[in-house]
Homo-oligomer: A and B are copies of this chain.
Amino acid sequence: MGDLDITEVAKRSGVPASTLRFYEEKGLITSIGRRGLRRLFDADVLERLALVALGRDAGFSLDEIARMFASDGRPRIDRKMLAAKAEELDRTLLKLTAMRDGLRHAAACPAPSHMECPTFRRLMRAAASGAMSERTKKAPQPPRR
């Protein structure tokens, strides 16, 4: 009833079966049993997966996310850690916002070459000096396939 086999979970969550096995091995999710060899999951694994996705998106590593789950399976998220992550995200947001504005300007800038655009050069200097980020921090990469 509430049990879903791995294919079902994959289908409903959009997470590939190979990743589900990988997540189980990592302790991010738990299978509730087997039908033959086939893993069975409780339906609440979907919520768990959503939480994992959330953590990933917020910039937590899988290991960090794993540490957030108590042994009883309920999320036990350190509030301090959350606040710290929010802080970090906030700094990232500032930087990315500046970057977006700069890119947008450079894209619309009438200077014959970007090297002659003051805004572009300012951005460049900022990136070079590392002034925008505390240390080398990268913006999100385009989706891998």
Which residues of A approach B to under 8 Å, CB–CB? 13-15, 46-47, 49-51, 53-54, 56-59, 61, 74-77, 79-80, 82-83, 85-86, 88-90, 92-93, 95-97, 99-100, 103-104, 106-109, 113-115, 123-128, 130-145
Contact = CB atoms under 8 A, between A and B. Distances in A.
A113 B74 contact: yes
A111 to B, nearest CB: 11
Given A131-B57, A142-B88, A97 B93 contact: yes
Given A49-B128, A56-B136, A140-B140, 16 more contacts: A14-B132, A15-B132, A15-B135, A50-B128, A54-B123, A56-B131, A57-B131, A58-B99, A59-B140, A59-B141, A59-B142, A83-B103, A83-B107, A136-B143, A136-B144, A136-B145
